[in-house]
Amino acid sequence: MATALVTGGTSGIGAAFARALSLRGYDLVLVARDESRLHSMAEELGRDGATRVETISADLAVRADIDRVAARLESTEEPIDFLVNNAGFGIHGSLLERDVSVQERALTVMCLAVLILGGAAGRAMTARHKGTILNVSSVAGTIATGNYSAVKAWTTAYTESLAVELRSTNVQVSAVLPGWVRTEFHDRAGIRTKSIPDALWLDADELVEECLRDVARGKVLSVPSARFKVLLFFTRHLPRRVIRWVSGRISSSRNKPAEATVTP
């Protein structure tokens, strides 16, 4: 039986990946900070027919916890066949703030942890000549809405670089670049969304299904929905000064003081 490890697998996109992979016959390893939510998600998946759900309580802002998850990825006794690097949170705040603790945590959870876990999975999967690494990025990485855009731009570039390095190993490396998705993500980060048209919102389960189809086809970058494929085309081809202007409009429309909160 193949096994998938999903970070941030108790809510939002991560939970949608966990459900979809379970329905495809994968055993699961769920990683999150909140033990009660981990157990609740494991029970839900069990009721829906999951054969085996392992849970790891870990805070991916803590290096020792990252290393524990990396060790699980490199285990030869119970190998991981599919890694979903999903854990993350919204960042809402000025880049000029003196207190950079939230920004530092973001870089650890969404860059350093992705780097370490992707490397651990890559080594283990290369040795077995098979496996899949999927990183959750964002179309936000193509615009300029603060450190979140910078983090997700890094995630996309890292994924493409890892795909190049593993191109002859039979290990599939992909990133999914969602747009706005109906989850608790924005509320937890204190980001206003009333100005976002309904037509731009995506359903997490539909997003995941399209992404997994793209991964099965060997795509390195998956952009679910035709509307976000079109938006991504423009963000990549319009002059950067235009993108900066659009980014400023987006940032000002959702400006609401709030402290970022990690999605468990």
Catalytic, 148? Answer: yes
* 3-class DSSP state of 121: helix
HEC-encoded secondary structure of 32-98? ECCHHHHHHHHHHHHHCCCCCEEEEECCCCCHHHHHHHHHHHCCCCCCCCEEEECCCCCCCCCCCCC
Closest CA to 93 of 260, 263, 261, 262: 260
Task: Note whether 30 and 56 are within 8 A (CB).
Answer: yes
Catalytic residue among 17, 26, 82, 148: 148
Q: How many CA atoms lie within 13 A of 219 on its CB side?
A: 16
Amino acid at 154: W
Amino acid at 147: N
**Distance from chain centroid for Cα 163:** 16
Q: How many CA atoms lie within 13 A of 89 on its CB side?
A: 26
What are the residue numbers of the active site? Answer: 148
